[in-house]
Amino acid sequence: MWSRSRTQAMERALALPRLPPHDPGTPALSVVDMHTGGEPLRIVVAGCPEVVGPTLLAKRRYMRQHLDHLRRRLMFEPRGHRDMYGAVLVPSELPDAHLGVLFLHNEGYSSMCGHAVLALGRFALDFGLVLAPPAGAREARVNIHCPCGLVAAFVECEGGRSRGPVRFHSVPAFALATDLLVDVPGHGKMVVDIAYGGAFYAFVSAEKFALDVCSTKTRDLVDAASAVTEAVKAQFKINHPESEDLSFLYGTILTDGKDTYSEEPTANICVFADEQVDRSPTGSGVTARIALQYHKGLLELNQTRAFKSSATGSVLMGKAVREAKCGDFKAVIVEVSGQAHYTGTASFIVEDDDPLKDGFLLK
């Protein structure tokens, strides 16, 4: 379970440097930066006020209502950028969870983030948030309470420290709607699929826009994906069978259309939140895409596929490991694996007379 002593241990491990002049009434925000497949993760380890609430979803609502300036301060320029991603670690009400997490992006707060779970698995082991496994053990289990539910990460380790890839087992993932006809302004009626992998995504082949997901300019892919997202939001009601907090469309994933199983990687690009572009293949998107392929009979249990980011070429591996249920929906538990890396640490401060202290974004 999470405790104040673990926070203090993280702070000692960071050995924070002397800070430049700043507002003494505003604590410095200390972070560890990582990335998974090129997609950044900024983990807040010190300086965040208590996030109040009896449940993780209540904490998510509290942070949105009372501490959103901290999200903007960490994600936006000049400390971040419009595609920055973050995580605030909080206590969980679940007895089996080692930690709870709130995910931050340029628009608000996600319900799930696979690339972050892969990074947080390493971080939790290396910074002492979970006990090191017995000598000789090759994996450590880290139970991470995400807003969508409890996700188990399995961290390859040696001598009690992380090494190599991390894998996680998802919450139940399912196809919400297939072959949905949506009128996309400027493009006419298009058939899209919607699936859930901890967050809801719309899926459509880039070829339907006469685009190539691997070679078309990113701006053109973003425009196409954003048009789908807005059309689906306007024309289709998203409902999660267990929680209204999870009932929203997170973004659109444009694919190369190669949904039938192959040993060759299939490429996609995810555009989420406020036209934010995922540099990785998108962990929760891979989860949802596998659930969709399994639902359509294109993928069998324990049949591993490689998913490639068209933005960076980075790869995540995924497979459906067992069947499950989510409400009345037939679902699957998906295993996603990939490699996360550390990139640095930082302490962010505020000077009281700085008019841009809470950040800004350029479109």
Residue 113 annotated in active site: yes
The whole-angstrom separation of Cα 89 and Cα 206 is 36
Q: Determine contact, residues 306/315, Cβ cutoff 8 Å.
A: yes
Could you tell me which of 340, 341, 320, 335 has the C-alpha nearest to residue 153? 335
Residue 34 DSSP one-character state = E
Cβ–Cβ under 8 Å, residues 163 and 213: no
Half-sphere exposure of residue 363: CA atoms within 13 angstroms, side-chain side: 4
Q: Name the one residue in this structure whose structure tokens are 């202290």.
A: 357
- DSSP helix/strand/coil, 222: helix
- CB-CB neighbours of 335 under 10 Å: 21
Catalytic residue among 48, 113, 148, 326: 113
Whether a cis peptide bond, with omega within 30° of 0, leads into 355 is no
Helix (H, G, I), strand (E, B) or coil at 72: helix
Q: Which residues are catalytic?
A: 113
